[in-house]
């Protein structure tokens, strides 16, 4: 174990420096550098196999990085044994000890640290109350429901007051309703105890609901890092644009500038985009716009902003608060559009000719080199691990 305190970088922040992990020929994590500020709720979001769990396991000490360093509060913990790290994990499958009661599971870490009986008793009672399992102390894990097991796993980790709590898809095994409830619960607990949470998930909604900062990972790399809003409103890669929510990506070419806007020509139509929201400013680009930012109007109707004409409604799905339209453009591309059911206008019908409208500040421009379908959830890669 090397404990060489480097220059203080402030607080107990977690820092990964150039971390790479290879399994044989497979590069799970590729030269990752990341700083997680102390006390924040940080999410690693990505599809299965993107390296997010491997990253977490390297912080926990369950995997050794091939190269690079892991620093916690300035101390190098790269090679420290798991049991020497002030870090605890909530495992994906919970990994509760089946032979021990809820009470003993939660007390496990404190007992190993040699705390005296009285203080353990007090701390366990307090923690079980926090996760609302006070009445279940003597139950074995097999006698608890999935949600209760999840809370025991959380209590078992949190009771040790780690500097960083690692959560490996902790809500993956719960049904939707319970998951929503636990998301709020986790956020409440995190705010209450002020511990740094690093949360691994493939569920974009979960990450956006809970995390202060999200790192979107793909193929061992961080694609983009920022708040949920930043990532959603200004994706910098096609992967982020497609993985967080949906995006319509239109192939176009930058033809010039007009004030603070960039002019992009898409299939002969000139469209304006704020230059500040462009990742590429010349040549071939992807012009992106979120479905809910697009407004539909019957063909020829006058409106402000960008207009892209010639669409035809091919599908209408009414989903309560909104209606989702699929519009086919003359060049064959399908554009998806969400409209609020505010009652302002009668719903459009299949076969109707429509124009697409959106404001210049609502579009974004991405590099054309990237795959337009990167990060689109397909059935075979969905919801695994």
Partner 1 sequence: MSAVAHVRSSEPGKTPPEQESTGRGRRLTVLLLLLPGTIWLLAFFVTPLVQLVATSMYDPDGTIETGYQVVVSAQNYATGLEQYSEPFLRAFLYAGSATVLCLLLGYPLAYAIAFKAGRWKNLLLILVVAPFFTSFLVRTLAWKLILADNGTVVSTFQTLGLVSDDGRLLATGIAVVAGITYNFLPFMVLPLYASLEKIDHRLIEAAGDLYSSAAAGFRRVTLPLSMPGVVAGTLLTFIPAAGDFINAELLGDTNQTMIGNVIQGSFEAGDYPTAAAMSVTLMIVIVVMVAVYIRRSGTEELL
| Minimum CB–partner distance for residue 173 and partner 1 (Å) | 13
- Smaller CB distance to partner 1: residue 114 or 343? 114
**Neighbouring-strand partners of residue 30:** none
C-beta of 6 vs 113, nearer to partner 1: 113
Closer Cβ to partner 1, 168 or 185, answer by number: 168
What is the smallest separation between the CB atom of 116 and partner 1, expressed in angstroms? 16
Question: By the criterion CB under 8 A, which residues form the site for partner 1?
Answer: 60-62, 81-83, 87-89, 91, 93, 95-99, 108-109, 112-113, 156-157, 160
Task: Indicate the pairing of strand 196-201 with strand 164-168.
Answer: parallel
CB of 113 to partner 1, least distance (A): 5
CB of 141 to partner 1, least distance (A): 11
- List, as one string, the DSSP characters of 310-357: EEEEEEEEE-SSEEEEEEE-TTS-EEEEEEE--SSSPPP-TT-EEEEE
- Between 21 and 362, name the residue whose CB sits nearer to partner 1: 21
When the beta carbons of 93 and 258 are compared against partner 1, the nearer one is 93
For the bound state, the minimum distance from the C-beta of residue 180 to partner 1, rounded and expressed in Å, comes to 26
Q: What is the DSSP letter of 171?
A: T
Query: Alpha helices of 34-161 — where are they, by DSSP H?
Result: 52-60, 102-112, 117-130, 146-158
d(CA 343, CA 320): 12
Cα gap 99→145, rounded to integer Å? 16
Rank residues 88 and 163 by Cβ distance to partner 1 and give the closer one: 88
Q: Are 163 and 84 in contact (CB under 8 A)?
A: no
User: CB of residue 88 vs partner 1: minimum separation in angstroms?
Assistant: 6
Q: How far is CA 207 from the centre of its chain?
A: 4
Classify residue 259 as left (phi > 0), alpha (psi -120 to 50) or beta.
left
């Amino acid at each position: 174990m090397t404990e060489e305190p480097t220059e203080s970088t402030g607080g107990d922040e977690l820092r990964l420096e150039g971390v790479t992990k290879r399994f044989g020929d497979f590069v799970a994590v590729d030269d990752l550098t990341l700083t997680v500020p102390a006390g924040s709720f940080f999410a690693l979001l990505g599809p299965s196999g993107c390296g997010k769990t491997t990253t977490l396991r390297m912080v926990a000490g369950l995997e050794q990085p091939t190269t690079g360093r892991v620093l916690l509060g300035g101390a190098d913990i790269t090679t420290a044994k798991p049991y020497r790290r002030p870090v605890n994990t909530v495992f994906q499958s919970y990994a509760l000890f089946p032979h021990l009661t809820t009470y003993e599971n939660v007390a496990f870490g404190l007992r190993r640290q040699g705390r005296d009986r009285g203080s353990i008793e007090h701390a366990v009672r307090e923690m079980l109350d926090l996760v609302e399992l006070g009445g279940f102390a003597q139950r074995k894990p097999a006698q608890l429901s999935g949600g209760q097991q999840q809370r025991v796993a959380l209590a078992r980790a949190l009771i040790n007051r780690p500097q960083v709590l690692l959560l490996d898809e902790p809500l993956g095994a719960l049904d939707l309703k319970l998951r929503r409830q636990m998301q709020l619960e986790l956020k409440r607990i995190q705010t209450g105890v002020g511990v740094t949470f690093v949360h691994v998930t493939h569920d974009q909604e979960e990450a956006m609901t809970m995390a202060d900062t999200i790192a979107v990972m793909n193929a061992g790399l961080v694609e983009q890092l920022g708040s949920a809003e930043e990532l959603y409103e200004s994706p910098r890669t096609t992967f982020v644009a497609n993985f967080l929510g949906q995006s319509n990506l239109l192939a176009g070419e930058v033809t010039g500038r007009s004030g603070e806007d960039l002019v992009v020509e898409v299939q002969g139509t000139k469209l304006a985009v704020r230059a500040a929201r462009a990742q590429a400013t010349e040549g071939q680009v992807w012009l992106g716009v979120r479905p809910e930012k697009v407004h539909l109007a019957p063909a020829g109707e006058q409106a402000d902003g960008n207009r892209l004409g010639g669409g035809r409604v091919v599908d209408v799905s009414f989903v309560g608060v909104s209606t989702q339209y699929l519009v086919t453009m003359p060049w064959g591309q399908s554009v998806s559009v969400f409209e609020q059911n505010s009652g302002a206008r009668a719903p459009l019908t299949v076969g109707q000719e429509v124009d697409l409208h959106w404001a210049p500040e609502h579009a974004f421009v991405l590099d054309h080199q990237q795959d337009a379908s990167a990060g689109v959830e397909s059935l075979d890669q969905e919801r695994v691990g």
